[in-house]
Structure 1
Amino acid sequence: MLEVKGLTKRFGGNLAVDNVSFRVDRPMMIGIIGRSGAGKSTFLRMMNRLTEASEGVLAFEGRNVLPLAGKAKREWQSTCAMIFQQFNLVPRMDVVSNVLHGTLGRRSTLATMFNLYPESDIHQAIDILDRLGIAQHAEKRAEALSGGQQQRVAIARALMQDPKVILADEPIASLDPMNAQTVMEALRRIHDEDGRMVIANLHTLDTARRYCDRIIGMRDGRVVFDGTPAQLTTGVARDIYGAGADFSEAATSTEIRDHHDIEAAEIRNAEVAI
């Protein structure tokens, strides 16, 4: 379904993504982890064609999407929707109109200028908001919503594109644990119920283990781990992050757990590492 071969991105003399290769044979929920600067965001931006690759192949359903231009490139960007850490909504616009922006790729210039939407699209937008539990906020300005609600609006906008792939670049990095859990559960449901591939850059290991089928670890632009959540031991995590023996997952945990749960998890991780 997705095949990445030798994908590389150079910024001057620096390698942001260095010869990345992997393949995905079916729709999965994939988490990409690694420290800041590992190349995670650059990889997603290349996949969505927001950033041009220096070399390599990125083939989806047998077609290399990297050379696409013009209409074909825009069609790919509709097929491969992007969700950002900072939501990228229009703050003063109402929620349902923000969601309807997901249809811009298939609307005429005139319709876009005058915000003319078919009634069927409006109903679809409200249905998607209802699915995500925020239909009651459809008429509010986006800026009036909490961070977690705004991220669900961004997910709804992505779903309006009817994509085969959803890319999420640190979707919960700016959210509190409760909203982070709500957003991750929404992405997981979309994968399970719709059969869409979801690839998310994540900054916490517990989140990747809990929600993802497969985890890819990046360090200095290269893939240094590719496996299941069960294979992501504390020792492997230390290697991905270049951390020492004092590395503790509890410090970055986003799970809603009490202190005793965190201590128990640390003991289990230590036993696995030994």
Structure 2
Amino acid sequence: MLRFDNITKTFGANTAVKAASFVVDKPMMIGIIGRSGAGKSTLLRILNKLTDSTSGEITFDGLSVTDLRGAAKRNWQSQCAMIFQQFNLVPRMDVVSNVLHGTLNRRSTMSTMFNLYPDEDIHSAIDILERLGIAEHAPKRAEALSGGQQQRVAIARALMQDPRIILADEPIASLDPMNAQVVMQSLRDIHEQDNRMVIANLHTLDTARRYCDRVIGMRDGKIVFDGTPEQLTTGAARDIYGADASFSEATTSTQIETTEPGNKLLADIAAH
């Protein structure tokens, strides 16, 4: 279904991705983990055609993604939706209009200029917001929402594209643990209910284990781990992060814990 063959990306003398190869033969939820600078974001940007690889090939159902240009490239980007860490919403625009921006690839220039949307698309946008639990915020400005709510708006915008693949680049890095779990569960539900492939860059090991079917670990641009969540042992994590025996998974945890009955929730976000 999706195949990476020796994908490499260089920026001058620096190599961000080194001969990355893997195959995904069915829709699943995949987590890509590794420390900052490991090449995770570059890998997703290459797949979405936001940047071109230096060498290698990506194919999806027999289509050579690496060769796409112009209208064919834009069509692929509509099928391979991207969700970003910082949401990339229009802050002063209402929520439902932000979601409707997911239809821009199939609308005319005139309708885009005057924000003219078919009733069918408006109803679809509200239905998606309802599915994500934020329909009551549809008329509000995006900037009035919390970070977790804004990220769900970004997910809704991606779903408006009706993509075959959803890419999420550090979707929970700027969220508190409670909102992080809501966003990750939303992505998991989309995979299970829609049978869509979801690929998410993550910093946290417990998140990868809890929500993903498969985990790919990157270090210095190379894929150094590819397996099930159960195979992601502490030893494997040390290798991925280039850490010694002092490495503690607590530094990459979003788990919510209570220390005493009635105490407030305590949580830590990954430091890596």
Deviation digits for residues 198-217 of structure 1 (CA, Å, limit 9, x no counterpart): 00000000000000000000
1:170 maps to 2:162: no
Distance 2:163 2:3 in 1: 18
Deviation at 1:250, TM superposition (A): 1.2
Aligned residue in 2 for 1:213 = 213
Instruction: Note the alpha carbon deviations across 1:16-55, whole angstroms, 9 max, x for none.
Output: 0000000000000000000100000000000000011111
In structure 2, what is the equivalent of residue 189 of structure 1? 189
Unaligned runs of 5+ in 1: 261-274
- What is the CA distance between 1:257 and its match in structure 2? 2.5
- For 1:202 and 1:64, locate their aligned partners in 2 and report how far apart those are by CA, in whole Å: 27
Give 3-state SS (helix, strand or coil) of 1:56's partner: strand
> Which residue in the other structure is 1:198 paired with?
198
Paired residue secondary structure (2:67) = coil
CA distance in 2, matches of 1:73, 1:257: 45
TM-score (ref. length: structure 1):
0.94
Which residue matches 2:11? Answer: 11
Q: Percent identity?
A: 75
Aligned equivalent of 2:20: 20
The alpha-carbon deviation at position 258 of structure 1 amounts to 3.3
CA distance, structure 1, for counterparts of residue 63 and residue 256 of structure 2: 42
| Matches of 1:259 and 1:49, distance apart in 2 | 46
Inter-partner Cα distance in structure 2 for 1:257 and 1:23: 37
What amino acid maps onto 1:248 in structure 2? Answer: S
**Any idea what SS the aligned residue of 1:66 has?**
helix
Query: What CA deviation, in whole Å up to 9, does each residue of 1:171-222 have, x standing for no partner?
Result: 0000000000000000000000000000000000000000000000000000
Between the aligned partners of 1:76 and 1:259, the Cα distance in structure 2 is 48
- Which structure is higher in helix share? 1
Partner of 1:252: 252
Tell me which residue corresponds to 2:75: 75
The answer to whether the aligner puts 1:138 opposite 2:142 as a matched pair is: no
- Which residue pairs with 2:158 in the alignment? 158
In the alignment, the residues of structure 2 paired with residue 37 and residue 165 of structure 1 have an alpha-carbon distance, to the nearest angstrom, of: 24
Match of 1:267 in 2: none
The residue matched to 1:102 in structure 2 has which SS? helix
Alignment correspondent of 1:231: 231
Task: Give the deviation of 1:251 after TM superposition.
Answer: 2.2
Which residue does the alignment assign to 1:42? 42
In 2, Cα distance between the equivalents of 1:59 and 1:91? 36
**Structure 2, unaligned stretches of length 5 or more?**
261-272
The CA deviation string for residues 241-270 of structure 1, in whole angstroms up to 9 with x for no partner, is: 00011111112210222359xxxxxxxxxx
Comparing 128-137 with 248-257, which one deviates more in the overlay? Answer: 248-257
Q: TM-score, normalised by structure 2?
A: 0.95
Counterpart-to-counterpart distance in 2, 1:217 and 1:257: 26
Listed as ranges, the matches of 1:109-128 within 5 Å are 109-128=109-128
Give the count of matched residue pairs: 260
Query: Residue type of the partner of 1:167?
Result: L
CA RMSD of aligned residues (A): 0.8
